Amino acid sequence: MGIDKIRFSGLASGMDTESMVKQLMQAERIPLNKLEQKKQTLEWKRDQYREMNLMLAELDKFIFDGVGKQSTFLKKKIVSSDESKVTATSVGASSNTSTKLEVSRLASAESWNSEAAISFTAGTAYAADFKVTDPDGTVRTKTVNIKDTDNIDAAISAFNNAGLGVTAMKGNILDDDGVTYREMIVLTQNKTGSGASIEVTNTDATQLMEKFGFRKDDGTTYALNETLVPKQNGQTGGQDAIVKINDLQMYFKSNEFEINGMKYNIKNTTGGTPVTISSTTDVDGVVESIKAFMDKYNEILEKFGNKLNEEKYKEFAPLTKEQKEQLSKEEIEKWEEKAKSGLLRRDTLLTNNLSKMRMALTGEVNGALTNSKYDHLSEIGIVTSSNYLENGKLVLDPTKIINKMIGEDRLRKAIEEDPEAVFQLFFASGETSSEKGVARRLREEVQSSINRIDETAGKATALDHQFRIGRDLSDLNNRIESFEDKLKRAEDRYWRQFTAMEKAMQRANEQAAYIANAFGGGAQQ
């Protein structure tokens, strides 16, 4: 520190210079404190806007996953007359059906058994190429890589991990003498149905099959590009299922198959007695999905309403650094809870967004695919609450005004009569707003609201220059930085002034002492 930077803190004057400079700087800092408090308020406001957007994003996803899917309104209750033989699920069936199924044969997978003794031993590496054709016609050409250190179990594992769509397994089989057992390898196609095959396509593959004990019918080993002959020890494998559906005989590669939006799972033959599968609209399931949508929408309305009506405590400004140093953590949290309250009270942006969301659910839906009998939410028993304090929440009409039925009864009746029309009421597409379903309109407004809030508060990953509050914060940061430089210069100025004063007083004191010593010394003589 140079001589001009030395600070004299009351050595000559006896004053507490440091405290005096600190008090002077506290006064100088008042404008800076206000800037920092404004910055903190803006950051809190930004974060609260983002919290609102997270809620809107949740509602958007909830609509998409629920009433935004046609399958929500086409839920079916499926009843089988014999679940031990045939079951079914709906995968998009629009109408209710009753189907008779008579199963005379299940689909089975092709398999190949080794006939000769297994002679595989470690010591030879193989890069065996195979061409596998699945029952559905899919063709795979894969290489089975076996290391020279692999034993039979490791070789089988390598076969299974090669992606052939065929599983190898080692087991025991009763030999021809009916007494002794021998080890064998079984290759099983992973898919059921006829038409599967395995072809050896290089020398390593033919050698590997020989070591695994596979032989042709005449007992010779397989040559290059030959196809393995299925061996099932007297059983017939690799067959398609035979099912008579409403008296029409059909063949299927798998024991699971889909017809007209229904997925059937045949488990056993029916012995000549058909199994009846009936499907009816799952009214309870659809009602619960619609209620869940209403609850989520109402939850958002309530949270937005609470934020817009939140109490504002003007006397609780953000704490300065000096104030925080004098308070406990708990006291700071309580203070800031008050300071954050009401930042979005009667906020124009949120109010407008909320109003547009409410309007999206009002009015008729008059698209071409809509049943005019169900073109307004009130016609399926859903209305807005008559309590103005509930901000337009959706409720099932509790009054008996249409056909003497209360809201939920009307909703159930509409779903029973025409679930497709109810779906169109919620999510019909169209060129104009009036042609779109109410939930589609709402989702579009939710997405627009998210975008509008993003323009003001940005996403968590956004840069400050990309949204309005961010730009305001950047400006404040520049002003704060400039003011901090100004304060530093002011503090240096005060210290220079006090230092100059201390130096002057020091010189005066030294002169006074010199004079006193001089006159005092003359008198003694």
Q: Give me the residue spans of the domains in the chain.
A: 8-74+282-308+346-509, 76-107+240-281, 109-212, 310-345
Query: Average pLDDT for residues 155-174, to the nearest whole number?
Result: 93
- Listed range (87-91, 129-133, 265-269, 481-485) with the worst mean pLDDT: 481-485
What integer pLDDT is reported at residue 10 of this predicted model? 54
Which of 264, 253, 230 is closest to 105 using CA atoms? 253
In this prediction, what percent of the chain has a pLDDT beyond 90? Answer: 68
Task: pLDDT band for 4, please (50, 70, 90 cuts).
Answer: very low
Q: What is the pLDDT of residues 476-508, one digit of tens each?
A: 999 988 888 887 887 777 777 777 777 777 777
CA 22 from centroid of its chain's CA atoms: 53
CA 192 from centroid of its chain's CA atoms: 36
CB distance 217 to 113 below 8 Å: no
Total Cβ atoms within 10 A of residue 189: 26
- Listed range (73-77, 166-170, 394-398, 490-494) with the worst mean pLDDT: 490-494
Task: pLDDT band for 273, please (50, 70, 90 cuts).
Answer: very high
Q: What is each CA distance from 370 to 67, 167, 220, 427, 428, in whole angstroms? A: 16, 52, 70, 10, 8
Single-letter amino acid, residue 47: D
Query: Average pLDDT for residues 227-253, to the nearest whole number?
Result: 86
Kindly report the average pLDDT of the chain as a whole number.
89
Give CA–CA dist 397/381, Å, rounded.
Answer: 5
Which H or E run contains 265? strand 262-266
Q: What is the pLDDT of residues 51-101, one digit of tens each?
A: 999 999 999 999 999 999 988 998 899 999 999 999 999 887 878 899 999
Number of H helices, E strands in the chain: 12, 16
Total Cβ atoms within 10 A of residue 235: 8
Query: Average pLDDT for residues 511-518, to the nearest whole number?
Result: 78
CA atoms within 13 A on the CB side of 180: 4
pLDDT of 226 strictly over 90 = yes
Q: What is the pLDDT of residues 411-433, one digit of tens each?
A: 999 999 999 999 999 999 999 99
Between 2.30.30, 2.60.40, 2.60.120, 3.30.70, what CATH number should domain 109-212 receive?
2.60.40
Query: Average pLDDT for residues 335-339, to the nearest whole number?
Result: 96
> 262: which strand partners?
90, 259
DSSP for residue 217:
T
What integer pLDDT is reported at residue 523 of this predicted model? 47
pLDDT of 13 strictly over 60 = no
What integer pLDDT is reported at residue 217 of this predicted model? 83
What integer pLDDT is reported at residue 299 of this predicted model? 96
What integer pLDDT is reported at residue 344 of this predicted model? 97
CB distance 252 to 107 below 8 Å: yes
Which of 74, 456, 519, 410 is closest to 262 using CA atoms? 74
Give CA–CA dist 323/459, Å, rounded.
Answer: 31
CB distance 103 to 242 below 8 Å: yes
pLDDT of 444 strictly over 70 = yes
Query: Average pLDDT for residues 149-172, to the nearest whole number?
Result: 95
pTM to 2 decimal places: 0.72
What integer pLDDT is reported at residue 11 of this predicted model? 53
Task: pLDDT band for 43, please (50, 70, 90 cuts).
Answer: very high
Task: pLDDT band for 277, please (50, 70, 90 cuts).
Answer: very high
